[in-house]
Each structure stands twice: as structure tokens, then as C-alpha cells.
């Protein structure tokens, strides 16, 4: 079906998923991208340029990406009409082309539209939010030994309080629901029933277990020592506590997990290496203290949606912050790579912020496509740029002797560094 506003590149081909779930990637893959609101218009063009340069450096003329702009957020509303924030053809293009990348999209606090980021993840059922957090040499950090922070956050991406089921205080629906809870369920714990807004936190066995399956598989594939479940199951027993119990169940039933001492911690054998992977859990508040004080004890983290939002940003702050923290939204069919930061409106259009989050999200994308040589070039040129101390404001303000460069300037430093790589 032809698109209305999306321009399909003439000489590109879609990436496809094969029967064994591996990707078939042509040499001229069409990759849809959403520029994003706010600083999206600063970082996304820089990311495109850096990726093109890395692909050219790695493969010469043999391979190149055919970028295809698709629309969401403010740009979509301008193109398709005032209330069309997430056009159907954007979802269609992202589904049909399998691999895509997006910049940040605005979500107003309080009233107005609900999160388009969450809407995209839900509409495509991208149930894994994967956010690796690692240290790059030279990055300013508040820690004495930042290299000990090396974690991969698996955040459940489709349910929890983040599903957006909530009812405004004093609305008919909130009153109906409170009445139902009080009269039909005998619930007496709502402190101010007349003026309470109500939010619903759905957490399912399926949702929890499919996330945990991916987290353990990742630990196996990447030779990681542990998977830690982070939850607040002491207080939210059936949602967060359920998540913990159902996740342990996956470890035991599907990966042969054996209890350590009396449990519930377990040991899963990595079939590839023969080594043990420890499956453990920790309560979220204790975790946030421990990742600062003993980061080396944590490797793969599996957690619910809201916890994962907080945790991924807190842990990223230990090694440079969200300016360089990448992410991906995944399921078996579709992979949408995504910056972890937002639209940072005060910096929008100023060519100022760090494009690293967008560039490293693209690096994850190239690796996902099997274009590892280009991905490696991105990592090495990013490291070289940081070591040269030509960095954006967020790093420059914490580094001694740094030269501050613009968003596009940093991309340029990376591209120049690529020419120097052997
Ligand atoms: N995935 C997405 O699309 C996301 C969208 N959002 C949305 O973005 C909007 C703004 O959210 P807000 O809470 O202000 O969070 P933001 O992430 O947009 O900005 C918060 C702060 O983070 C720092 N920061 C953000 N991006 C960069 C960058 N590229 N380089 C360096 N520093 C950066 C800045 O800190 P400082 O000023 O200290 O330098 C900035 O003020 C909201 O509408 C929110 O809903 C939020 C998160 C994710
Ligand atoms: O969708 C939003 O506006 C914020 C989402 C967010 O902070 C995240 O997913 O990390
Ligand atoms: Mg966030």
C-alpha cells in the first residue's frame, strides 16, 4: 500500500525476519527513522551522518543505509493534521521494515496527549526495553571506579502503571471505580475517596515471564554472571512480588535453575560456557543504594516498567548520564532503537546537546543487523572523541581541560576520528 507522506527510497529493500527469527539484511536496507521533537531535530541528523560515515568506512560502497523518514509527534501533527500525533502509516512502515530508530517525543505532564513513546511500544507490542549501561574511558563520572558499572537493564515495556490506565480525581469514572472498590470489594484503604485520582497497575504472568526469558537468554548469549530481579514486592505483593515469583519460575522451569541454599536465589548453567549464572532478586530501594556502592555485583537487571525507567537513568548517571545512554524496544519481529533521554526543550534547536545517546542507539541497531564492523567503528570513534576531550557541554562541565563542541561538532569529531582508525 502506498504511503501518504512517507517517501519510500527507490533503490532500497526492507529487512525481513526469517523462519528461524534471524534477520535477512540486504546491502541497501531501508531503515525508517523518527526525527523526534525538541532536541530530536539536533541529535537525529548528527546520528544519521555518523552512521553513514561508519558504514562507508566499514564497507565502502558495498553497503549503505537507505534512510526513510517516518513521522510522529509535532512533525506528524503538522503534516497530517492537528490531532494526528501517531499516524497509522508510521506504525505500518515500522512494522514492515522490521528495524527502525527514533528520537525523543514530547509528553506533556498532566493533561494533553498520553505518551507517544509508550503508545508506540504498546501498539507494536515491543515488550523488551533494553538499555545497556557501560563506561567509556574518559567519560566524567561521580564514581571513583566507574568501570565497575556494566549493567544491562531489561525493562518490561508493555504493562505496569506505565500502561496509562488512570482516572482523574473527581471524574465519574474515578468515582465509579472507588465506589466499586468500596462497595463490591470491601476496600477501605483509600484515604480520601472523594478526591482521589486512581491508577491501575496491571502486571501479568505472561508479561513478566516473556521479559525474564529474554533476560536469561541474553545472559547466556553474552556470558554474563547474573540476572537480578529488581522489584518492590514487599509492598506491592501481587504485582511486583508476582513479577519476582513468576520470573524465578521461568529460571527453574525453562533454564533448569537450581535453588541456592534454601532459595529463592538460583543457579542456571550457561550451556555455552558451562559457567553458572546466578539468578537473584533485590528490593528496588536497596538496589538503588547498592548500584552506587557496589556496582560490580550487578550485571543483567530484569524489572518492571516504571522501575526500569528510574533505574536506567540512575545507573546511566554513574557513567556519563543520559546524553550517551542508548536503548532499544524489541520483540521477536520488530526492533525500534531509541534515545533514552527526552526532548530537553530548553536546548531544542540550539545544536547544543550530546548526540551520544542517539548515536549509540544506532550502534546497537547496527549490531542487531549484524553490521558489527560499522558498530565497532562507532564505539572506537566515540572513545577517541571523548579521549580527545572535544565534547558537548554535559561532559565539558565535568572534565578538566575539555574543549566544548556543539552537537554537530561532536559528530564531526567522531567522523574525523574514524579516518584515523586502523
Ligand atoms: N523516549 C522519549 O522520547 C522520552 C521523552 N521524554 C519527554 O521529553 C520531555 C522532556 O522531559 P525531561 O524530563 O525534561 O527530560 P529530558 O531527558 O528531556 O531532559 C532532562 C535533562 O537531561 C539532560 N539531557 C537530556 N538530553 C540530553 C542530551 N542529549 N545531552 C545532554 N544532556 C541531556 C539535560 O540536563 P541539564 O539541563 O542538567 O544539562 C536535560 O535538562 C517530556 O515531554 C518527556 O515526557 C522523556 C524521556 C524519554
Ligand atoms: O514517554 C515519555 O514521555 C517518557 C518515557 C521515558 O521516560 C522513558 O521511557 O524512559
Ligand atoms: Mg525515562
Please identify, by atom number, the ligand 2 atom nearest to the C-alpha of residue 312. 10
Could you identify the residue written with the cell 566524567? 140
- Say if residue 114's pLDDT is above 90: no
Nearest protein CA to atom 27 of ligand 1, as residue: 323
Mean pLDDT of 67-86: 94
Q: Is 309 annotated as a binding residue?
A: yes
Q: What is the pLDDT of residue 101?
A: 98
Q: How far is the CA of 106 from the centre of ligand 1 (A)?
A: 10
Q: Is 146 annotated to bind ligand?
A: no
pLDDT at 214: 98
* Cα separation values, 178 from 110, 203, 238, 276, Å: 21, 20, 20, 48
Which H helix or E strand runs over 215?
helix 205-221
- The residue contributing the CA closest to ligand 1 atom 14 is 344
pLDDT at 1 over 70: no
Q: Is the CB of 341 under 6 A from ligand 1?
A: yes
Set 42, 309, 351, 394: catalytic member = 309
Whether residue 104 has its Cβ less than 6 Å from ligand 1: yes
Q: What is the mean pLDDT of residues 144-154?
A: 97
Residue 162 falls in the annotated catalytic set: yes
- Over residues 41-56, the pLDDT tens digits come to 999 999 999 999 999 9
Active site annotation includes 232: yes
Average pLDDT of the chain? 96
The two most distant CA atoms of the chain are separated, in Å, by 72
- The DSSP element (H or E) to which 379 belongs, if any, is helix 372-387
State how far the Cα of 297 lies from the Cα of 317, in Å rounded to an integer: 17
Judge whether 345 is annotated as a binding position.
yes
Q: Is the pLDDT of residue 112 over 80?
A: no
Closest atom, ligand 2, to C-alpha of 105:
3
Judge whether 37 counts as a catalytic residue.
no
pLDDT average, residue stretch 119-132: 97
Q: How confident is the model at residue 294 (pLDDT cuts 50, 70, 90)?
A: very high
DSSP 341: S
How far does residue 353's CA lie from ligand 2's centre (Å)? 18
Mutate to test the pocket of ligand 1, among 344, 348, 398 (most ligand atoms within 8 A of CB): 344
Catalytic (active site) residue 309: yes
Catalytic residue among 80, 127, 135, 162: 162
DSSP 13-73: B--EE-TTS-EE--SSBEEEEE--STTHHHHHHHHHHHHHHHHHHHHTTS---EEEE---T
ipTM of this complex: 0.99
Q: Which of 24, 173, 285, 350 is catalytic?
A: 285
Q: What is the whole-number distance in angstroms between the Cα of residue 322 and the centre of ligand 3?
A: 9
pLDDT digits (tens, 9 = 90+) for 313-331: 999 999 999 999 999 999 9
pTM, whole model, 2 decimals?
0.97
With a 6 Å cutoff on the Cβ, whether 394 touches ligand 1 is yes
Ligand 1 pocket, 198 CB below 6 A? Answer: no
pLDDT at 46: 98
Residue 315 parent element (H or E): helix 305-317
Work out the pLDDT band at 336, boundaries 50, 70, 90: very high
* Mean pLDDT, rounded, for 70-92: 94
Amino acid at each position: 500500500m502506498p504511503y501518504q507522506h512517507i517517501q519510500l527510497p527507490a533503490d532500497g529493500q526492507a529487512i525481513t525476519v526469517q523462519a528461524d527469527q534471524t534477520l535477512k539484511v540486504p546491502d541497501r536496507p531501508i531503515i525508517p527513522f523518527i526525527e523526534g521533537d525538541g532536541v530530536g531535530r539536533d541529535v537525529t541528523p548528527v546520528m544519521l551522518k555518523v552512521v553513514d560515515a561508519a558504514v562507508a568506512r566499514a564497507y565502502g560502497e558495498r553497503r549503505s543505509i537507505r534512510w526513510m523518514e517516518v513521522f510522529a509527534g509535532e512533525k506528524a501533527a503538522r503534516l497530517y493534521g492537528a490531532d494526528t500525533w501517531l499516524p497509522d502509516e508510521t506504525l505500518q512502515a515500522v512494522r514492515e521494515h522490521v528495524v527502525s530508530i527514533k528520537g525523543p517525543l514530547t509528553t506533556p505532564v498532566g493533561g494533553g496527549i498520553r505518551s507517544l513513546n509508550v503508545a508506540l511500544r504498546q501498539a507494536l507490542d515491543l515488550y523488551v526495553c533494553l538499555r545497556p549501561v557501560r563506561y567509556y574511558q574518559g567519560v566524567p563520572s561521580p564514581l571513583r571506579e566507574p568501570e565497575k558499572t556494566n549493567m544491562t537493564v531489561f525493562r518490561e515495556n508493555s504493562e505496569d502503571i506505565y500502561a496509562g490506565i488512570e482516572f482523574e480525581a473527581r471524574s465519574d469514572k474515578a468515582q465509579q471505580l472507588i465506589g466499586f472498590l468500596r462497595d463490591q470489594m470491601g476496600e477501605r484503604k483509600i484515604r480520601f475517596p472523594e478526591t482521589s485520582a486512581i491508577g491501575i497497575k496491571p502486571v501479568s504472568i505472561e508479561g513478566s515471564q516473556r521479559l525474564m526469558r529474554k533476560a536469561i537468554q541474553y545472559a547466556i548469549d553474552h556470558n554474563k554472571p547474573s540476572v537480578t530481579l529488581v522489584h518492590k514486592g514487599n509492598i506491592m505483593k501481587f504485582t511486583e512480588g508476582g513479577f519476582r515469583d513468576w520470573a524465578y519460575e521461568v529460571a527453574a522451569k525453562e533454564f533448569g535453575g537450581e535453588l541456592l541454599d534454601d532459595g529463592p536465589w538460583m543457579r542456571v548453567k550457561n550451556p555455552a560456557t558451562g559457567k553458572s549464572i546466578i539468578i537473584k532478586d533485590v528490593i528496588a530501594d536497596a538496589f538503588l543504594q547498592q548500584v552506587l556502592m557496589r556496582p560490580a555485583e550487578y550485571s543483567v537487571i530484569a524489572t518492571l516498567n516504571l522501575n526500569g525507567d528510574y533505574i536506567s537513568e540512575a545507573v546511566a548517571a554513574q557513567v556519563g548520564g543520559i546524553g550517551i545512554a542508548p536503548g532499544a524496544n524489541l520483540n521477536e519481529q520488530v526492533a525500534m532503537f531509541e534515545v533514552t533521554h527526552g526532548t530537553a526543550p530548553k536546548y531544542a534547536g540550539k545544536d547544543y546537546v550530546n548526540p551520544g545517546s542517539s548515536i549509540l542507539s544506532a550502534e546497537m541497531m547496527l549490531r542487531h543487523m549484524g553490521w558489527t564492523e560499522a558498530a565497532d567503528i562507532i564505539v572506537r570513534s566515540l572513545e577517541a572523541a571523548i579521549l580527545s576531550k572535544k565534547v558537548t557541554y554535559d561532559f565539558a562541565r565535568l572534565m578538566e581541560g575539555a574543549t566544548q563542541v556543539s552537537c554537530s561538532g561532536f559528530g564531526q569529531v567522531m567522523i574525523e576520528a574514524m579516518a584515523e582508525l586502523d
